[in-house]
């Protein structure tokens, strides 16, 4: 029951998906991040379903909708973290000033530039990726990115102002997240083939690199930082999948 509550708490906090059941249980709070990859599965299923359905309604917006759907399904929460982190990291200020910028709710020039580049690459990757029978990899991309976020937050030192500063992390939670990641990669390989699974490995590497860069600079992890790495890794996954398609591998 605790995991069920944690899942719905996570679904309500990190998505804009309507859900009539929105419990809050402090005892289940520490397990929320473990259920984050399962929330990713829900997002992936809706993302893939949308990509399959949209061309039957309006072919002209297919690529744009493919790029935008994961942002819409999450209520832009991770995109907000991406923009805040761009402002902080690209300011090249001392650590204290970067952390101050990270907490600032105002949008700076670096956030706007970063968002523009993300939208450009996401749209082009989505346009190259799309085929009627190639929507299935989208199911797995949000699972893998959220495994990265869950594992990072459960493992790395939080930034002082982070909402995760008081969250307790235990080894079973981290092991569970790793097992979910492994199941997702193996299931993708068995269903869609090794090249699709390779796309997920590339996504994982992209998440690790993005998180390492920010973590070493800001000396900690927060929801914004995790959202930055998640957003970057999903864009890289789309680019990788598109490249494999062009190479005749998917």
User: What is the predicted pLDDT for the residue at 76?
Assistant: 95
Does the residue 25 lie in any domain? no
Instruction: Look at 56 and 107; give whichever has higher pLDDT.
Output: 107
Q: pLDDT for 33-59, tens place per residue? A: 999 999 999 999 999 999 988 888 877
Whether residue 132 is predicted with pLDDT greater than 50 in this model: the reply is no
Does the residue 119 lie in any domain? yes
Does the residue 221 lie in any domain? yes
Q: pLDDT for 220-244, tens place per residue? A: 999 999 999 999 999 999 999 888 7
Does the residue 214 lie in any domain? yes
Does the residue 194 lie in any domain? yes
User: What is the predicted pLDDT for the residue at 131?
Assistant: 56
Does the residue 219 lie in any domain? yes
What is the average per-residue pLDDT within 72-83?
Answer: 95
Does the residue 239 lie in any domain? yes
- Token pair 């890794």 is at which residue? 233
Does the residue 161 lie in any domain? yes
Q: How many domains is the chain built from?
A: 1
């Amino acid at each position: 029951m605790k995991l069920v509550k944690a899942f719905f708490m996570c679904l309500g906090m990190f998505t804009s998906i309507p859900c009539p059941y929105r419990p809050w249980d402090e005892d289940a709070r520490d397990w929320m991040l473990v259920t984050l990859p399962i929330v990713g599965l829900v997002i992936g299923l809706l993302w893939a379903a949308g990509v399959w359905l949209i061309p039957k309604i309006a072919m002209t917006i297919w690529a744009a909708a493919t790029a935008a759907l994961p942002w819409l399904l999450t209520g832009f929460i991770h995109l907000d973290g991406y923009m805040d982190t761009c402002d902080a990291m690209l300011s090249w200020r001392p650590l204290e000033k970067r952390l101050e910028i990270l907490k600032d709710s105002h949008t700076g020039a670096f956030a706007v530039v970063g968002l523009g580049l993300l939208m450009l690459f996401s749209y082009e990757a989505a346009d190259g990726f799309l085929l009627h029978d190639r929507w299935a990899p989208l199911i797995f991309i949000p699972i893998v990115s959220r495994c990265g976020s869950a594992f990072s937050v459960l493992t790395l030192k939080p930034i002082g102002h982070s909402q995760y500063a008081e969250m307790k992390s235990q080894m079973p939670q981290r092991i569970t997240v790793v097992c979910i990641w492994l199941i997702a990669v193996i299931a993708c390989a068995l269903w869609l083939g090794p090249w699709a699974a390779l796309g997920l490995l590339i996504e994982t590497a992209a998440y690790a690199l993005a998180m390492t860069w920010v973590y070493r600079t800001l000396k900690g992890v927060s929801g914004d930082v995790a959202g930055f790495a998640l957003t970057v890794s999903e864009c890289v996954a789309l680019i990788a999948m598109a490249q494999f398609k062009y190479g005749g591998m998917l």
